[in-house]
Chains A and B, each alone.
Chain A
Amino acid sequence: MKKRNLLFILLPLVVGVVSGCDNQPFIDYVEQTKLANEYEGYDFLEDGIGEVTLFNNVDGDTAHFTSVVSEDRIKARFIGVDTPESTGQIQPWGKAAAKFTAEKLDTAKVIVLSSESESITHALADSTGTRFLSYIWVAYVDNPSLNDFKMINLWLVQESYSGAKGISASRYTQAFYDADMQAQELGIRIWSDDPDPDFYYGASTVTSLKEVNENPDDWLDAKVYLEGIVAKTIGTDAYINLDIEDEDTGLTQRYGLFIFSGYKSYAPLLTIGNLIGLTGIITEFNGNLQMTSVSYSPYYPSEDDITLISSGNAIDPLVITAAEGNDDKYINVVVTVNNLHGTGGYKEDDSNALTIYCMDDLEGLINLRISDNVHVYDRAGSGFDRILDPLYFQVENETFNVTGALLKYESLSGNISYQVSLCKNADLVFNS
């Protein structure tokens, strides 16, 4: 709060100095922009506006809420902004933006979501169909009037945590663009060359897959260099694995790590069997370790780029039983589990991802995870209809073998399970 007050005192002075003869004062567009519609008794998903409570913060431009009226869970993507990443990838000012949003939401007395439409109508989902595009209004007094609400989306732009983006056809267009132009002229945070104090710009520490997996707390959020062999790819991402001998015991253990490319296509990461060196940041995603912020350019290389050490080193998946898969030591390692039979499972509410509960012929238990991006087709019909029902895997006397990365999953209630995550449909083979 102190920091913000200081900013507001300084900003008019700064602008005064910069613009010289103009003496243009800082304009508080957040203060000028008011919530126009009544919200009490309305439900956001049904009516396009409604009071909510915070369920959890995600990052600078996404949060999850619960409707006060219907108690529905709402994944809200903030309209008109795109803050730097702070979850999958870590970018400068990403954590600062996430902290700003969290602070505004955590301390609010009342939170209201509104959609773009001015009339009472359903909220609109984004192109993923699962996140609802929302203006987020917060008030810091009990029983607030409409004038007491401030819009976080616009606040993020005004405070230089995001540019105004995708807002050209909004009723708040001008306020967003004006706040954006003012922020760019002021040149702070994302609009400056100033280093983000929460972002590490230094050199990487050389380590290994063994060290990172055995002492994860020592490496979380650290920028590291390590080596591994591309064992499996999924989209533009990959799992790297490596057999490493313990110097003390002489025993060899296979270690793995998921490499998140940030939706970018990096050639060395996409060929199975490549032994590569990677520089990136170790983070956690859904309870499993991953490396983010990797880079590669064949024509404009930088010192942190992925390096191809050698190719043709393909390693066979570890063949394990279901029971053996219930062990942290195989996390992010590519494994094959044979002779599985479905015993149940579920499809996620807001995606086509499936979790299949499985038992192998030794009666060990493990789950099969089929993400939304991997399509398993019904062998009947045209051969191109996706399986979206766990019952498909519960045919009597029919088993299947699966190859994928072993992951750990902790439910909201704290239950831990282990799952083989399918990377491509050809890795699921039915034993007919």
Chain B
Amino acid sequence: MASKKNFLALPFTFALLLAGCDGDGRTQVVFWHTMGQTNQEILNGMIADFTEEHPDVVINHASQGGYDDIRKKINSAIPVGNTPTMAFCYPDHVADYIESGAIENMTPYISDAEIGFTEEEGSHQQGEVVKSGVDDFVAGYWGEGLDYQVQGLYSVPFSKSTEALFYNVDFFEQYELEVPTTWAEMLTVSRAIKAIAPTKIPLGYDSDSNLFITLCEQLGIPYTSKESANHYLFNNQEAKDLISQLKVFYDEGLFVTKGASPNNSYTSTQFTDGTVLMTIGSTGGTSYNFSPNFEVGVAIPPSIDAEEPAVISQGPSITFFKRASTAQKRAAWEFYKFISNSENSARYSIMTGYEPVRISSYETPEYQTHLNAAGADVNLYTKTANITINMRDSYFYSPVFVGSATARDEVGGIISNVLLGIKTVEQAFNDALTECIFGSEV
């Protein structure tokens, strides 16, 4: 549902909003996002604190549905000039918006004399040097905003997450199983589980796309490239062999994905149902893995080499729109700095399961208390935080270009279509490539 503080207060104020002001001369920032009710409550708390410091600014925010909804609404809003001041985005979305000329390059804001980053917003010590501003952000997250088809800063990190392995501790303890750290160990453990409990599915993977992309990254199999002449690299023999092998494991009953599940149900749901005994899913969705029926453990997802894990960096960033007035964009930047400052980023992370975007957030007393929770204070969020803190240097993200969102969707489709036997491996790859090339040209 929409938040109580909502988009466009009254029709009669709409004309004023175009000028970036509400009726009493305050600067209006319109923020579109995809937050559910829980996260909106946290955002409302941050807004109340922000507007106390900045009484000249009004933040009106509204959830626009899911990630596809917000992308399509913004794509509809761009031609008619109804874009918000700032919005949740995925890099793939931003690539499209940049193509339409709708996105503000935020580079000058970083060191603006009035509204640039300050040390008070967050800093950490690295040896003898105090790191602040851009240098206080987790490099993998900040770098994503710089990695577009044109030079500049076009998105900034906020709700970042990665994937974790959630497992049924009671089952693992009862049968003295080791939590797998490599895919080879995963195969061994999954077959052991199948022998113990033939009706169970050892592993679920919530995102078909992430499974394809992560395995390609870990195995060094080409997926996509930023080179405009050769974006789509996934249609190669190594990738086909990989998917053929996955089909064998699926037919053996060793794993399932969301796309290959009845009703397209999340594997986290199947995990909490007790049907699946391990599931790999977003840390942003940590709460969906909670079960009142068994203890849930959290681990780093398996990789080819346990010493060199590669885990996907995901979760929405924030982008800013050119069409807003200068005052609106400057106010929006101030607001972004506030909600991502050391303290607020730590708090948002503790309450949602997303990762802090600033290194200094990990050092705040609140986050340290969270990490060091003991006894009754230990919960799934604190367990996840203790795992992901060790994954910060292992993040990867895929090249971004117009059409990269299609590639992501299509490789996920390859997995579900092959696992379910709807298409042969050859058919699935050919169809996916065709859709990427011709679908993205439309």
Residues of A within 8 A of B (CB): 14-15, 17-20, 82-85, 91-94, 124-127, 129, 162-169, 173-174, 177-178, 180-181, 184-188, 190-194, 234-235, 262-265, 271, 295, 297-300, 302, 373-375, 381-386, 423-425
- Contact among A83, A94, A385 with B199 in the assembled complex (CB-CB below 8 Å): A385
- Given the known interface contacts A14-B11, A17-B12, A192-B10, the answer about A297 and B1 at a Cβ–Cβ threshold of 8 Å is no
Contact B38 A264 (CB under 8 A): yes
**With an 8 A cutoff between CB atoms, is B125 at the interface?**
no
Contact B1 A82 (CB under 8 A): yes
**Chain B nearest CB, measured from A209 CB (Å):** 24
Contacts of B95 in A (CB 8 A): none
Contact A181 B196 (CB under 8 A): no
**Chain A nearest CB, measured from B381 CB (Å):** 8
Contacts of A83 in B (CB 8 A): 1
- Residue from the set B1, B66, B351 with the largest chain A CB neighbour count within 10 Å: B1
Contacts of B63 in A (CB 8 A): 163
Cα A298 to Cα B381 with chains together (Å): 15
- Contact among A20, A127, A181, A265 with B287 in the assembled complex (CB-CB below 8 Å): A265
Contact A166 B8 (CB under 8 A): no
Cα A302 to Cα B45 with chains together (Å): 9
Contact B69 A166 (CB under 8 A): yes
**With an 8 A cutoff between CB atoms, is B427 at the interface?**
no
**Chain A nearest CB, measured from B255 CB (Å):** 18
Cα A202 to Cα B1 with chains together (Å): 21
Contact A162 B1 (CB under 8 A): yes
Contact A164 B265 (CB under 8 A): no
Cα A262 to Cα B290 with chains together (Å): 15
Scan residues 229-277 of chain B and give those whose CB is less than 8 A from a CB of chain A: 262-266, 269, 274
Closest to B60 in A: A193
- Contact among B11, B42, B65 with A15 in the assembled complex (CB-CB below 8 Å): B11
Among B70-78, B384-392, B415-423, the stretch that binds chain A is B70-78
Mark interface residues in B43-82 (1 if CB within 8 Å of A CB, else 0): 0111011000000000000111110110111001100001
Contact A297 B38 (CB under 8 A): no
Contact A129 B263 (CB under 8 A): yes
Is the contact region of chain B dominated by helix, strand, or loop, or is it mixed? helix
- Residue from the set A14, A177, A381 with the largest chain B CB neighbour count within 10 Å: A177
Mark interface residues in B369-402 (1 if CB within 8 Å of A CB, else 0): 0000000100100000000000000000000000
Scan residues 269-305 of chain B and give those whose CB is less than 8 A from a CB of chain A: 269, 274, 287, 290, 292-293
Contacts of B76 in A (CB 8 A): 174, 177-178, 181
Contacts of B11 in A (CB 8 A): 14-15, 17-18, 185-188
Q: Across chains A and B, which 7 residue pairs bring their CB atoms closest together, nearest first?
A: A300-B45, A168-B68, A165-B65, A382-B197, A187-B8, A84-B1, A190-B2
Closest to A381 in B: B197
- Given the known interface contacts A186-B11, A235-B292, A295-B41, the answer about A181 and B73 at a Cβ–Cβ threshold of 8 Å is yes
Contacts of B69 in A (CB 8 A): 164-168, 177
Contact B263 A177 (CB under 8 A): no
User: 24 pairs across A/B with beta carbons < 8 Å?
Assistant: A15-B11, A18-B12, A18-B15, A82-B1, A83-B1, A93-B1, A126-B263, A129-B262, A166-B66, A168-B66, A168-B71, A185-B82, A190-B6, A191-B2, A191-B8, A193-B6, A263-B38, A297-B45, A299-B366, A300-B42, A373-B292, A375-B274, A382-B171, A424-B292
- Contact among B6, B46, B71, B174 with A192 in the assembled complex (CB-CB below 8 Å): B6
Given A19-B14, A185-B14, A193-B4, 13 other A-B contacts at CB below 8 A?
A94-B1, A127-B265, A129-B263, A162-B1, A165-B64, A165-B69, A181-B76, A185-B8, A194-B10, A298-B351, A299-B351, A374-B293, A381-B197
Contact A184 B8 (CB under 8 A): yes
Contacts of B196 in A (CB 8 A): 382
Contacts of A127 in B (CB 8 A): 263-266, 269
**With an 8 A cutoff between CB atoms, is B358 at the interface?**
no
Cα A353 to Cα B124 with chains together (Å): 52
Mark interface residues in B69-101 (1 if CB within 8 Å of A CB, else 0): 101110011000010000000000000000000
- Given the known interface contacts A190-B6, A386-B274, A424-B293, the answer about A168 and B82 at a Cβ–Cβ threshold of 8 Å is no
- Given the known interface contacts A163-B62, A166-B66, A300-B48, the answer about A384 and B72 at a Cβ–Cβ threshold of 8 Å is no
Contact B38 A124 (CB under 8 A): no
- Given the known interface contacts A20-B15, A163-B62, A166-B66, the answer about A297 and B10 at a Cβ–Cβ threshold of 8 Å is no
Cα A191 to Cα B3 with chains together (Å): 8
- Contact among A184, A262, A381 with B62 in the assembled complex (CB-CB below 8 Å): A184
Contacts of A14 in B (CB 8 A): 11-12
- Contact among A129, A165, A297 with B42 in the assembled complex (CB-CB below 8 Å): A297
Contact B8 A92 (CB under 8 A): no
Contacts of B73 in A (CB 8 A): 164, 177, 180-181
**Chain B nearest CB, measured from A122 CB (Å):** 11
Contacts of A169 in B (CB 8 A): 68
- Given the known interface contacts A17-B12, A163-B62, A383-B174, the answer about A91 and B1 at a Cβ–Cβ threshold of 8 Å is yes
Cα A164 to Cα B6 with chains together (Å): 15
